[in-house]
Amino acid sequence: MPTSSQAMPIRHYLQFTDLTADEYAHIFQRAASIKAKFKAYEKYQPLTDRTMAMIFEKASTRTRVSFEAGMYQMGGSVVHLTTGDSQLGRAEPIEDSARVISRMVDLVMIRTFGQDKIEKFAAYSRVPVINGLTNEFHPCQILADIFTYIEHRGSIQGKTVAWVGDGNNMANTWLQAADLLGFKVHLSTPSGYEVDPAVVGVRSPDSTQFFKDPMQACQGADLVTTDVWTSMGYEAENEARKKAFADWCVDEDMMKVAKPDALFMHCLPAHRGEEVSAEVIDGPQSVVWDEAENRMHVQKALMEFLVLGKV
Ligand code: CP
Ligand code: NVA
């Protein structure tokens, strides 16, 4: 089956740095066009008869629905696997799973724990592998976030994104994106929850500024964004995190010091009253529902690119 994808070198999307700035420009333009077709009820099925395996080792709402609906809309189909209902949960080696699964499908999306797992799967896969979230990165989400920014405000180049909260998979991916696409991140994380520069990789010194005080990080920002205090896989730290993160709640005071037209984003799911106040997430500067919807449109463009190349 995976025939035409075999003719091209395999491209994986395991972290934000796997595509170039030019390729991102292409994908954003394709996402806008694919979204317009969707809104006009116009059929667009470039992936007819293609199949994607979706492997989930952690829970998901948006990632599952956006990939699954997106693949069907493009004419393809999906196979949904979890640790509990496959041999993945019974310690079949990742290499063997990758060899087998990738002989039967055209694309694989994986949500798992360590980045090393997805890297290993990709190394043994005959078809492109997409990171649907690991402990270290969430590139599809940042792809959607930047597309959403562009839709609302135009190019993100030269702009300032304030990250308020955990130095987690989302923060790491924002930092990679800032380097690649030429914007700045103001990062404020509680002590002990900083990003690990070794995970993020080589960076230009100008693209990040660190702030102890989250209010200062938001000063003059074009976009303020945050995420849960406790990510999936870190639940045992929940109580300690609740204490450490108490001042890292994006509220109206933080939004007031950002630019007057600043946007608020959150990858969701959100906890109102923890990392964000209800007034902010449900307020006029919040674009979280567009952000969630755009997961589907950008991922359709990404899948099209990985399977068919630049169309
Ligand atoms: N934002 C995001 O990835 O959501 P899910 O965990 O619901 O997939
Ligand atoms: N940082 C969060 C994102 C959820 C979409 C997590 O990893 O749980």
Q: What is the CATH number of the domain that holds 202?
A: 3.40.50.1370
Note whether 150 and 251 are same-domain residues. Answer: yes
Note whether 285 and 200 are same-domain residues. Answer: yes
Note whether 124 and 260 are same-domain residues. Answer: no
CB 79 within 8 A of CB 85: no
Parallel/antiparallel/unpaired status of strands 184-188 and 160-164: parallel
Residue 108 included in any domain: yes
Note whether 114 and 154 are same-domain residues. Answer: no
Percentage of the chain modeled with pLDDT above 70: 98
* Average pLDDT, rounded, for the chain: 96
Predicted TM-score (pTM) of this structure:
0.97
Residue 8 included in any domain: no
Please work out whether the CB of residue 228 comes within 6 Å of at least one atom of ligand 2: yes
Residue 275 included in any domain: yes
Note whether 235 and 275 are same-domain residues. Answer: yes
Note whether 212 and 269 are same-domain residues. Answer: yes
Note whether 277 and 299 are same-domain residues. Answer: no
Residue 11 included in any domain: no
**Alpha carbons 50 and 45: distance in angstroms, whole number:** 10
65 φ, ψ (degrees, to nearest 5): -65, -40
Q: What percent of the residues of the chain are helix, what percent strand, and what percent coil, each to the nearest 5? A: 45, 15, 40
Nearest CA to ligand 2 atom 2: 231
Note whether 45 and 163 are same-domain residues. Answer: no
Distance of CA 13 from the midpoint of ligand 2 (Å): 18
* Confidence (pLDDT) at 205: 78
Residue 199 included in any domain: yes
Distance of CA 60 from the midpoint of ligand 1 (Å): 5
Number of domains in the chain: 2
In the three-class reduction of DSSP (H, G, I as helix; E, B as strand; rest coil), residue 105 is classed as coil
Residue 31 included in any domain: yes
Nearest CA to ligand 2 atom 1: 231
Q: List pLDDT tens digits, range 193-218.
A: 999 999 999 777 789 999 999 999 99
Note whether 254 and 194 are same-domain residues. Answer: yes
Tell which atom from ligand 1 comes closest to the C-alpha of 232.
6
Residue type at 92?
E
* Confidence (pLDDT) at 7: 64
Residue 3 included in any domain: no
Beta strands in 57-137 (DSSP E): 77-82, 107-111, 129-131
Kindly state the average pLDDT of the residues 105-128. Answer: 98
Q: List pLDDT tens digits, range 56-83.
A: 999 999 999 999 999 999 999 999 999 8
Please work out whether the CB of residue 169 comes within 6 Å of at least one atom of ligand 2: yes
Distance of CA 270 from the midpoint of ligand 2 (Å): 10
Q: Which residue pairs, CB below 8 angstroms and at least 24 apart, start in 274-277?
A: 274/228, 274/229, 274/242, 274/245, 274/249, 275/164, 275/165, 275/226, 275/227, 275/228, 275/229, 275/245, 275/248, 275/249, 275/250, 276/226, 276/249, 276/250, 276/251, 277/249, 277/250, 277/251, 277/252
**Alpha carbons 104 and 53: distance in angstroms, whole number:** 9
Kindly state the average pLDDT of the residues 163-189. Answer: 97
Residue 2 has pLDDT above 70, yes or no: no
Note whether 161 and 118 are same-domain residues. Answer: no
Domain range for 184 is 141-289
- Give the residue numbers marked as catalytic: 111, 138, 141, 227, 267, 295
Note whether 47 and 77 are same-domain residues. Answer: yes
Residue 270 included in any domain: yes
Distance of CA 132 from the midpoint of ligand 2 (Å): 10
CB 127 within 8 A of CB 107: yes
Nearest CA to ligand 1 atom 3: 63
Tell which atom from ligand 2 comes closest to the C-alpha of 60.
5
Length of the chain: 311
Kindly state the average pLDDT of the residues 4-14. Answer: 78
Considering every ligand atom shown, identify the ligand nearest to the alpha carbon of residue 163 and give its number.
Answer: 2
Spell out which residues line ligand 1, taking CB within 6 angstroms.
60-63, 133, 141, 267-268
Note whether 193 and 178 are same-domain residues. Answer: yes
Residue 125 has pLDDT above 90, yes or no: yes
Kindly state the average pLDDT of the residues 274-284. Answer: 98
